Chain A
Amino acid sequence: MNSIVAQERIIALRKKRSAQDLRFKYYGFIAMCLALAVLVFLLYSIFSRGFSAFQKTTILLEINYDQEVLKLTPDSTDQEIEKGKFFKVKKNALNNVFENLSKSDAKLIKKLFSTNIDKEIKNYYIDNPSVLNTTQKLWVTAHSNVDQMLKGNSRRDVPEDRRKLNDIQLSFIDQLVEEDRIQKEFNNFFFTRADSRHPEIAGIAGSFMGSLLTLFVVFILSFPIAIGASVYLEEFAPKNKLTELIEVNISNLAAVPSIVFGLLGLGVLLNVFGFPRSTPLVGGTVLALMTLPTIIIACRASLKAVPPSIKEGALAIGATKSQAVFHHVVPLALPGTLTGTIIGLAQALGETAPLIMIGMVAFIPNIPTGITEPSASLPVQIFLWVESAERGFQEKSAAAIMIILLFLFMMNALAVYLRNRFEKKW
């Protein structure tokens, strides 16, 4: 009797224990799925917001390139064209969007268009000078408010005073849509222009160039220094306190918050050494110092992976130590060091905080051409757009994030490719 009870109890306990076991396994599984779900959700929320930024809204406008209004003749010089009265032409065109517009309606119509359209009208004329004294149908950029409304990013069904466009403007837009005079097309401005106060003509070309220049500086500085440092520590350094100090230093420097490197850049590079502010030169230097520990650690690992027999073979046939290291070990470790450098560069590409400290956060409306010119960088541009109150910038920042993620993906893929292609298993 007793033994049956005991047996039942044991069976019950075993069931309970195996249920516990299963539950624990599921907890782990759920945690993993949660982490992956967040990743998917993060990417989804960015991509769903960002895709619309690759299109812009344009409106068909009838423009009369009248010689009298423009104050131009068929044989005007470039300088005269530059000073042509294109804004008057634009004004006439805007007044004739619909027939019989009152003055207040014309003002409302004007706000449906980008402020930059006289430039578009001028550029069309410069490309086709034969249009003088003709009437041309031209697709010109719409204002960001119209763009956002048509993409469904801002809502129509809220009260009028909480909208950027009032009811009359909405009815104008509806009429334009009905007459097929409004369309969406590929947003070339996003890829060819620098930052702007107006979302519809703001682009990432300037900040992208800034990021490239910054990465160039990072590469030029960190790659040779990292190889030098890791060769010294791996092959030449005597085992003493000083070497130990350097090693501890490098591993701790890797964990210093990036913003502290920004303070270093501000306090030492800008204030003591007088580097030019807001430039890729100082940004790249700060980021190079920041990524140096990462790259050194990767380089040392790849130097360690080269078997000692190679060096010993070289030494045995009479090479000096430098010859053995620089002619045999370093070339074999080079793919590994390149992989480490690319990963370090990817880290530098996404870094924002230190660049804000050294003034790369300024509003820069033109594309930089050299490392000593003020410039923005891609992540800082995203930061500026996220912080901006203007609604049209939100999709721009999501789209810029998509570009930066694409580049990070490509860099990492390159690193993996290099590793698989050139890595030797000894």
Chain B
Amino acid sequence: MFFWSIVLILIGIYSSYILGKSRIKKLVYSTNLKPKSQYNYHAQYVLSWCLLPALIVYFSWAIFEEQIIQNLILDSFEYVEGAAYNDGLLLAEIRNVANNTDFSEGKSQEIINAASQYKSLKLTSEISFYISIIIIMVLGSLYAVRKINIQFNAQDTIEKYIKYILIFCSSIAVLTTIGIIFSLIFESFRFFSQVSIFEFLFSTEWYPFIPIREGQAGAEGSFGAVPIFAGTFLVMIVAMCVAAPIGLLTAIYLSEYASQKVRKTVKPLLEILAGIPTIVYGFFAFVTVAPFVKSFGQSIGIDASPTSALAAGLVMGVMIIPFISSLSDDVINSVPQSLREGSLGIGANKAETIKKVILPAALPGIVGAFLLAISRAIGETMIVVVAAGTAANLTANPFENVTTVTVQIVVALIGDQEFDNPRTLSAFALGLVLFVITLSLNVLALRIVKKYRERYE
């Protein structure tokens, strides 16, 4: 369907363009008047009236076709008394039978019936799709052709359309935000209708197991997210202990001491650290750092977990070094030169100038940089999924196994997803918390940095 609809739409584009052009040319010949805009714009006008409705039809078909067919199938399915059904599995089976990709023997009659119904519905849908897209393209073009006359200012209209398209493009970002907020809040609401919000925020027990049958002993799930928040915090602290000193000192060295040549080579090298995919850091943490931490722990007499907070935190720290160094570098560079010269002029040496003049002056900006780095560290997923644990554990010992918000989101969604149990829905509640925290950290950091910039401009 994809290929042929592209062909159809291309044919439509070509013929509507030609149609529009020939129409306005004919009008010009017959009336011998000058048209208000160039031929091309008239042609484009007809083209847009052909293309845009066709695209709307195409996308609405692509989005709704499968769902409507599924609902029709399920409505007319001949349920056998006493048998248990799962809608998703049933539909998958019907689809496999219809596409001849199910080779197991002995399909029941109602499945075969449903499969043939599925096939015929698909065919009907495809035929009606082609018919409706052709009709809509023809109607659109005819409408546009009828509107063309010598007095018609096609250029104005086209420019108005372009502007609408541009507005639509820039509103995609807003729509994305709305989509994020909508999906997080909607699913979290479903989660909190099953689990109380106070339990989620303040209880320290996180056992997200769901009883398989009702009344099963010892399998009642509990969803207290405090150990998860604590684990996230611990990993973040370890990461900042690595990244803050190294990143800040590197930024100071590069902006105040290093020669132009060193700066030009080191900066891109540090940017490599920022460009390495996070799964690569995860691999590094899992294969190299975690065994090292374990043997280091043994050598000082601590029994380190193979999925310790320390290993994940150390590697995460390495990952955020470039964020801190490049942001702090910008901030330090925007401290006015006069402050430096004043300090050096009264006899302070470079280190004293940096420590007593530049850093205090740049402090708000550096704090902003740290906040951005923290927000990065909290939202980071792959390092902790690979290198940190999955079991919730309320501890402040970095050698122990902890889990984080992002790990729990992945764990909840990686297997079967059933959107009626709190195990799956908890991912959205955790995602909401993550979203709110990172967003507010970010807004705060940007505001601080902006205020700081204004001070020296």
Contacts and interface: CB of A to CB of B under 8 A. Distances in A.
A267 B184 contact: yes
B406 A353 contact: yes
A401 B284 CA distance: 11
A35 interface: yes
Interface stretch (B79-87, B155-163, B207-215): B155-163
Contacts of A266: 183, 413, 417
Interface stretch (B28-36, B50-58, B196-204, B379-387): B379-387
Contact of A257 (B172, B318, B406): B406
A177 to B, nearest CB: 28
Contacts of A30: 249
A128 to B, nearest CB: 32
A398 B283 contact: yes
A25 B350 contact: yes
A255 interface: yes
B22 interface: no
Shortest Cβ-Cβ A-B pairs, 6 listed: A257-B379, A350-B277, A28-B253, A228-B169, A267-B183, A31-B249
B439 A256 contact: yes
A245 B174 CA distance: 8
B372 A255 contact: yes
B39 to A, nearest CB: 15
A289 B169 CA distance: 12
Interface string B378-422: 111110011000000000000000000010011001100101000
Contacts of B187: 267
B14 interface: no
Interface stretch (A116-124, A141-149, A231-239): A231-239
Given A39-B269, A353-B385, 7 more contacts: A17-B349, A29-B257, A32-B253, A225-B169, A256-B439, A296-B173, A412-B275
Contacts of B66: 274
Interface string A248-261: 01111101111111
Contact of B277 (A34, A259, A289, A351): A351
A386 B318 contact: no
B245 interface: yes
Contacts of A289: 172, 176
Contact of B381 (A237, A258, A398): A258
B279 A379 contact: yes
A73 B166 CA distance: 68
A408 B275 contact: yes
B287 interface: yes
Contacts of A350: 275-280
A273 interface: yes
Nearest to A221: B172
Contacts of B174: 245-246, 249
B132 interface: no
